């Protein structure tokens, strides 16, 4: 009888602990849901409001290269390549950093989106004059040539990329792209 009573006490205690654990979990879950409702998510910025804010800053500081670059990136991301080209070119005019010239690849992508292939090729060739083995420029030039019906030119750029940067992920993509050239 004594064992039966202590077994029931243990079961009663365990049951009570389970109920308390469930209530605690429910409370924490509800508290978390309430917090989500009241605390704005700052990890996802609204690109439109960021553009508006940066445009305002640009008007106040029109020769600030980092603002121009950020606006170029935002406009490119928003599918507004004409505005992206404008701000990228302003950035290139103002920039004094050692690697800022690589923004020409972004200019070229925006120009390509606009169908201004010759200008895009010219921008990438500037990159190759500064760095003849630039993996991004070699790949992009090959892609532009392939997409405009010049597979022999594409092959030249992609083979150069593969020879100079055999382990680069772009070289891997170039190998696959070469298989598809006619």
Residues 51 and 128 in one domain: yes
Query: For position 51, which CATH number holds?
Result: 1.25.40.10
| DSSP assignment letter at 99 | S
Nearest partner of 101 among 79, 69, 70, 73, judged by Cα: 69
Residues 34 and 121 in one domain: no
Q: What is the pTM of this model?
A: 0.70
Residues 102 and 132 in one domain: yes
The whole-chain average pLDDT of the chain stands at 83
Q: E strand or H helix at 75, and its extent?
A: helix 65-77
Residues 16 and 91 in one domain: no
Residues 33 and 51 in one domain: no
Residue 42 has pLDDT above 70, yes or no: no
Residues 89 and 122 in one domain: yes
CA 100, CA 21: separation in Å to the nearest integer? 57
pLDDT in tens, 139-170: 999 999 999 999 999 999 999 999 999 999 99
- Percent of the chain at pLDDT > 90 equals 64
Q: E strand or H helix at 115, and its extent?
A: none
- The total number of structural domains in the chain stands at 2
Comparing 58 with 41, which gets the higher pLDDT? 58
Please give the residue range of the domain that contains residue 5.
1-38
Residues 32 and 68 in one domain: no
């Amino acid at each position: 009888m004594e064992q039966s009573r202590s077994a029931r006490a243990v079961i009663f205690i365990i049951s009570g602990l389970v109920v308390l654990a469930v209530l605690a979990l429910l409370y924490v879950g509800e508290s978390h849901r309430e917090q989500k409702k009241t605390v704005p998510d700052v990890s996802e910025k609204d690109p439109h409001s960021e553009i508006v804010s940066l445009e305002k800053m640009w008007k106040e500081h029109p020769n600030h290269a980092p603002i121009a670059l950020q606006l170029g990136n935002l406009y490119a991301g928003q599918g507004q390549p004409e505005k992206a080209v404008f701000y990228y070119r302003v950035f290139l005019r103002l920039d004094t950093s050692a690697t800022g010239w690589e923004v020409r690849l972004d200019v070229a992508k925006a120009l390509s989106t606009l169908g201004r292939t010759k200008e895009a090729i010219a921008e990438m060739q500037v990159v190759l004059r500064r760095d003849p083995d630039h993996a991004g420029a070699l790949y992009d030039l090959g892609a532009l040539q392939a997409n405009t019906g010049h597979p022999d030119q594409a092959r030249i750029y992609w083979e150069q990329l593969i020879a100079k940067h055999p382990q680069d992920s772009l070289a891997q993509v170039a190998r696959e792209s070469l298989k598809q050239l006619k």
